[in-house]
Homo-oligomer: A and B are copies of this chain.
Amino acid sequence: MKNTFGQSVAVTLFGESHGPMIGAVLDGLAPGVRVDEDLIRMKLALRRGGAALSTARREADPFQIVSGIFEGRTTGTPLCIVIPNGDTHSADYAAMRSLMRPSHADYTAYCKYHGFQDYRGGGHFSGRVTAALVAVGAVAEEALREGGICLGTHLLSCADVRDREFGSLEEDIAALSGKPFPVLDEAAGEKMQAEILRAREEGDSVGGVLETAVVGLPAGVGEPWFDTVEGVLAHILFSVPAVKGVEFGGGFRLAALRGSRTNDPMRVENGQIVTETNFGGGIAGGITNGMPLLFRCAVKPTPSISLPQRTVNIETMENAELSIRGRHDPCIAHRARAVIDAVTAIALCDLMSQRFGTDGWRKNP
């Protein structure tokens, strides 16, 4: 399926960094979901990140909803949002046609597309394409919210600085909503931002870990094999540029612990079955158990750094040195949060619709 993901609710991406526009098509969403353009605008702003911390190319993204909306609500037919590309300086990149940026997709794209790819600004691999994902993801998130499901992501760690753990999920999710630098502990956030700025000054970059919580998911969603909730979410999460690891609940920590410690004891509470701990991250046997869904994504440091790097010239097949000029993001982990929220919302709409049908899970179908 390549650039389309999902079964009952599916998203398709298109566009290049320096082409006329980028866009995303979200198909299969229930009709009647309210579409709030301010919410889309806010999510796009979160993806762009704050001025001090991020790249120079910072104009607001002038998105246009071109289909799937009528009288302020989704129609149920494919929802397409496009974002025209503003002024881009292709000349800046032309010089780098042949110099492969290490740990970017330049070389792998060259191998896959035999040199026909649009190399300018990363082309179709550019993080810019995620703006379209974020825009349609905002609508998916609204659909979930109308179904009683909400989600949020914080920067659990960045460059060795650690945010506090999630506490009261509803409150934490509400607090994170709209916060440009998504931490639960402001002091930790200050330190992270200082580290990011220090990295920039040194021509370098840093990574981070993002942690996501989803509340309100019913039990019984997902499949025992292959389309496990973990598998479906991980599949799309690894599309978020720079994500190199995904773990659910206790994740990698579980490997060193005993079962007596990590099994989640169950009990009846107000007529509902709950678990006392949540090492499973809200999933057992690939299927939701009604507890909050919890997962973490590792975001590698931005590969664009201004320090000199060893690389190759693909045309001459000779070794070369490369210094990436211009202003580059010393960290994308905090910005990636908007993309993670978006793809999570899309994948969950898909899982819910597979289980309950197009609109069987909507509160007011």
Contacts and interface: CB of A to CB of B under 8 A. Distances in A.
A252 B103 contact: no
A247 to B, nearest CB: 3
A52 interface: no
Contact of A258 (B116, B204, B251): B204
A64 interface: yes
Oligomer: number of copies = 4
B103 A263 contact: yes
A357 interface: yes
Contacts of A283: 108
Given A220-B108, A226-B236, A235-B232, A125 B267 contact: no
18 contacts: A3-B27, A3-B78, A7-B7, A20-B66, A76-B117, A77-B124, A105-B284, A111-B219, A112-B220, A159-B258, A199-B258, A231-B236, A234-B234, A238-B286, A246-B247, A261-B301, A355-B358, A356-B357
Interface in A69-84: 70, 73-80, 82
Interface residues of A, number: 158
Contacts of A255: 157-158, 207-209, 298-300, 333
B239 A286 contact: yes
Interface string A227-263: 1101110111111010111111111111111111111
A56 to B, nearest CB: 18
B116 A75 contact: yes
Given A5-B226, A225-B239, A267-B319, 12 more contacts: A70-B118, A100-B273, A103-B264, A103-B279, A207-B254, A207-B255, A207-B262, A231-B237, A245-B245, A250-B300, A252-B252, A263-B309
B301 A258 contact: yes
Contact of A75 (B4, B124, B252, B267): B124
A10 interface: yes
Interface in A277-312: 279-281, 283-290, 298-305, 307, 309-312
A187 interface: no
A318 B264 contact: no
A228 to B, nearest CB: 5
